[in-house]
Amino acid sequence: MNHFQYQGDQLFAEDVAVKDIVASVGSPVYIYSRATLVRHFKAMDDAFATLPHTICYSVKANSNLAVLRTFINLGGGVDIVSGGELYRALQAGADPAQIVYSGVGKRDDEIEYALHTGILMFNVESEQELERIDVIAGRLGKRAGIAIRVNPDVDPETHPYITTGLKKAKFGINIERALEQYGRAKEMANLEILGVDCHIGSQLTKVSPFVDAIRKLKRLISGVREMGIDLKYLDLGGGLGIQYHDEDPPLPSDYGTSITEETQDLGLHLIFEPGRNLVGNAGILVGTCLYTKRGEEKNFVIVDAGMNDLARPALYGSFHGVQAVQKNQDGVVTADIVGPICESGDFLAKDREVPNFKVGDLVAFMSAGAYGFTMSSNYNSRPRVAEVMVSGDRFEIVREREQVEDLVRGEKIPSFLN
């Protein structure tokens, strides 16, 4: 469910016509619906109402401050994977005691920053990282809360680029070695073992892989407790999928029922790290048709948004629904929708039946709230687009459109070239 619907022949974001936003802000533009963000957060939060839990939004999915503040105001924490995301979370008003820090490549300065901030815990992804955190915490005179990210070798049956729980993945410590690492952590003076962490992948459309992972984790938890370690948290990551096209992912309530049944006897505070599930269908990217081109073998709709603005189709072959901002009666055409980037891989829809767009028409790419702007770049020296949030009948720019001057900010020509 989202709040991007037609009223008559016009696409609206909540109670605001999308064409009015573009007229005010320009094109391309990302548009987020606050009501959709709230609805999705509450659906996930309510799914675990019977258990102690914290919803720690995964910042990497969409790191805009307005998005973060929306979830923080609802009582959410955050899951971060960099020092930059920690800075963003704090700027948005996050409680450090509700921040968990994941990621395989934490630098020393990032670990120090997190320790000074007083985050809840690090999700430790390797044996060397465990040692590094202990050393840095000791140097700073602090104790670092940690959970070990366990790789349970469960196939999430999703795209290989977003599969994280198999033995061959770079993430986490293999479950067969995890107990040994808990034993090592117990002997480290500057660590406080708080929990067990697991994240098996993204865009999962079945509950069964989550259940399989939990059953493996329960055996590990039993072993850790036998070592005399008092665990407080079980972090189950995120990964619940959304509908982009014809997927049929489980509802948060169904997911919650299955997870609750498997974990209610553990006596642990659950942490969840949803990202895509909260923001994916809460955002769209709107572009303008610049040209149409009839080829001998293909038709093309050329728009002002490209792979630098929305990388997922080029990166994963991902599907985003395409809708006309203003419905027309000109039928449909099979075409590629492509952008201005000088790459053959620059497409937003490929071999698709889409509205028969004309020059100047506005084109909405749906379900673009997750991994849209946050993965965008300045490739081909294109300024990044504006972001807008809608609430009811109001909208505000929540990130200004970059200007060409921003492209060279921080650069300089060295003296030996003058």
* 144-161 pLDDT tens trace: 999 999 988 776 554 444
246 plus 328 within the same structural domain: no
Q: Across residues 193-213, what is the average pLDDT?
A: 87
Given this model, what pLDDT does residue 131 score?
97
Q: Is it the case that residue 162 has pLDDT exceeding 60? A: no
d(CA 417, CA 222): 65
Report the distance separating Cα 279 and Cα 58, nearest Å: 10
Tell me: do 287 and 268 sit in the same domain. no
Contacts of 290 (CB under 8 A, 6+ apart): 302, 303, 304, 340, 359
Residues of each annotated binding site: 239, 273-276, 312, 316, 343, 371
Q: Which of 56, 198, 289, 342 is catalytic?
A: 342
Q: Could you write out the DSSP letters of every residue in 181-216? A: HHHHHHT-TTEEEEEEE---BSSB--SHHHHHHHHH
Query: Is residue 418 included in any domain, yes or no?
Result: no
Q: Rounded CA gap, 262 and 379, in Å?
A: 46
Average pLDDT over residues 70-87: 98
Let me know whether 51 and 136 are in one domain. Answer: yes
In this structure, what token pair is assigned to residue 188?
């480290």
Would you call 117 exposed, middle or buried from its count of C-beta atoms within 10 A (0-12, 13-18, 19+)?
Answer: middle
pLDDT tens figures, 223-262: 999 999 999 999 999 888 888 888 888 889 999 999 999 9
- When the pLDDT of each residue in the chain is averaged and rounded to a whole number, the result is 93
Give me the pLDDT at residue 168, please. 57
In a shared domain, residues 299 and 241: no
Q: Report the distance separating Cα 369 and Cα 259, nearest Å.
A: 26
Report whether pLDDT(1) > 80.
no
Domain boundary pick from 247, 276, 305: 276
Same domain (yes/no): 217, 249: yes
Q: What is the pLDDT of residue 393?
A: 98
User: Residues annotated as binding site for pyridoxal 5'-phosphate?
Assistant: 239, 273-276, 371
Would 301 be classed as within a structural domain? yes
In a domain, 262, yes or no: yes
Q: What pLDDT score does 157 carry?
A: 55
pLDDT band at 55 (very low <50, low <70, confident <90, very high): very high
* pLDDT band at residue 203 under the 50/70/90 scheme: confident
Give the span between the Cα atoms of 100 and 172, in whole angstroms: 15
User: What is the number of structural domains in the chain?
Assistant: 2
pLDDT digits (tens, 9 = 90+) for 345-370: 999 999 999 999 999 999 999 999 99
Hey, how many other C-beta atoms are within 10 angstroms of the C-beta on 113? Answer: 18
User: Does 247 lie in the same domain as 146?
Assistant: yes
- Give me the domain span that covers residue 42: 34-276
User: Is the model's pLDDT at 204 over the cut of 90?
Assistant: no
Domain with residue 47: its CATH number is 3.20.20.10
Mean pLDDT in residue range 385-405: 98
Cα-based distances in Å from 45 to 42, 256, 272, 319, 357: 5, 9, 9, 28, 40
What is the percent of the chain where pLDDT is above 70? 96
Residue numbers in the known binding site for substrate are 276, 312, 316, 343, 371
- pTM listed for this prediction: 0.94
What's the confidence (pLDDT) of residue 167?
53
For residue 289, indicate whether it is catalytic: no
Tell whether 162 and 49 lie within a shared domain: yes
pLDDT of residue 165: 40
Lowest mean pLDDT among 7-16, 162-171, 399-408: 162-171
